[in-house]
Structure 1
Amino acid sequence: MHEHRPSAAPSVWNTAPTSAPHQRKRRGYVPESAAHPAKMLPVLAATAIQTYSRPGDLVLDPMCGIGTTLVEAGHLGRHGIGVEYEPRWAHAAARNAVAVAREGDAPPGEVYCGDARHLTRLIPTRHHGRIALVLTSPPYGKSLHGQVRSTRESGERGVTKKDNRYSRDPANLAHQSADHLLAAFTEILAQCRTVLRPGGTVVVTTRPWRERGELIDLPTAVLAAGRQAGLIPAERNVALLAGIRDGQLVTRPSFFQQKNVSDARRRGIPLHLIAHEDILVLRKCKLESAAPHPGARSFPPPCAQKAGAVVVAAW
Structure 2
Amino acid sequence: MSVKIAVVGATGSVGREILICLAEADIVAADAVVAIASDRSVGSQVSFGEDDDLTVQALTGFDFKGITHAFFAVDSKTAAKEAKKAVEAGAIVIDCSDAFRLEPGVPLVVPGVNDAALGQMKKNIVATPSALAILLACALKPLQEHVPIKRVVVSSYQPVSGLGRLAMDELFSQTRGIYVNDQPTKEHFPKQIAFNVIPQVGEFQGDGYTTDEAALAGETRKLVGPDILLTATCVRVPVFIGQAAAVTVEFDSALTATAAREFWRKTPGLSVIDHRTTEGYVTPVESAGDDHVFISRVRDDKSVPHGITFWCVTDNTRKGGGLNAVQILEGLLKAKGKK
TM-score by length of 2: 0.29
The structure with the larger Rg is: 2
| Higher relative contact order (CA closer than 8 Å, sequence separation 6+) | 1
